[in-house]
Amino acid sequence: MYRVFQLLFLFFAVIHLGASSDFTPIQMPERGICAHRGAMNTHPENTLPAFREAIRLGVQMIEFDVQASKDGHLVVMHDSTVDRTTDGNGEVSELTLSELRKLDAGIKKGEQFKGTRIPTLRETLQIMPENIWLNIHLKDGEKIVASVAKMILKEKRQRQSFLACSIMAAQSAREISPGIQICNMDRQRNTMDYANETIHHKAQFIQLLGDGAVFSEVISKLRKHKIRINYYRADTPEICCELLSAGIDFPLVNDPGAMMTKIQTELGIKPLVPIYR
């Protein structure tokens, strides 16, 4: 009988350790490449194929845009209309999810992408590794921020996700989830006022905007307050390396394949090895 109790004790101890391992902290990237709308130079932007390619390349962050359909579903799409990136036309906000799903979001990029559909936010979150930053840019942020925040919580992605939005939208998100991470997008300039505003509102990220120029005093102050710095955008591997060397954490790029090789060679930043649930 004693032997039976020993075996049961060992069995439940192993189960407990296995369950505990689920809570092992996953290290998030300190710096690297942000794939703007996925690997959009080679794949249809803001689609699952573009995100999968960016993951395959080993990027450290993926940026994508979210807005709502006519019937309130959260879909991944940059433009207010579907005209540029699909075979359809019309305002996203005037089309139901069913209508959006009928559109081909890949054919304009190439025949090999024919049949690619506009993804929902939930589908997008579900394909992502656990150790990649998710840069979620809210279109019409104040209208959809509550729904997006709830979806992030439902999918348990709050540790790796942040909302790129206005301060007002951020305040609404924090009413739902006080710990939700924010990237301040109110000004997007390389100014000390913008940095100070971001610090004051306790955002975790900021997005600077420019043509490659950065101001060392702005970066220095942001880094002192442990705010991660995104930068829109880097068009060449050389500019990308310059930005990273100057203290930018994550330059947004349209061609992550070209950038990943350069930053590994020049700066020793290795491609991300994805960790999945």
| Secondary structure of residue 141 in the 3-state scheme | helix
CATH number of the domain that residue 191 is part of: 3.20.20.190
| Residue 188 included in any domain | yes
One digit per residue, the tens of pLDDT, for the chain of length 277 reads: 545 444 444 444 434 444 434 456 899 999 999 999 999 999 999 999 999 999 999 999 999 999 999 999 999 999 999 999 999 999 999 999 999 999 999 999 999 999 999 999 999 999 999 999 999 999 987 899 999 999 999 999 999 999 999 999 999 999 999 999 999 998 778 889 999 999 999 999 999 998 667 789 999 999 999 999 999 989 999 999 999 999 999 999 999 999 999 999 999 999 999 999 8
Rounded to the nearest 5 percent, the helix, strand and coil shares of the chain are: 40, 15, 40
Helices (H), 58-211: 97-101, 121-127, 141-154, 167-176, 192-200
Q: Within a domain: residue 115?
A: no
The answer to whether position 70 is within a domain reads: no
Closest alpha carbon to 254 in 235, 226, 240, 231: 235
Instruction: Name beta bridge partners: 161.
Output: 134
Residues 105, 108, 111, 112: is their CA dihedral positive or negative?
negative
**Strand pairing partners for 251?**
231
State the pTM of this model.
0.90
User: Does residue 98 sit within a domain?
Assistant: no
Angle separating helix axes 192-200 and 216-224, nearest 10 degrees: 10
- Asked if the structure places residue 88 within a domain, the reply is no
Q: Is residue 106 part of a domain?
A: no
The residues, ordered by sequence, that sit 6+ positions from 23 with a Cβ below 8 Å of its Cβ are none
Name the residue range of residue 130's domain. 31-44+52-64+126-267
Total domains present in the chain? 1
231 lies in some domain = yes
Residue 165 lies in a domain: yes
> Hey, is 218 helix, strand or coil?
helix
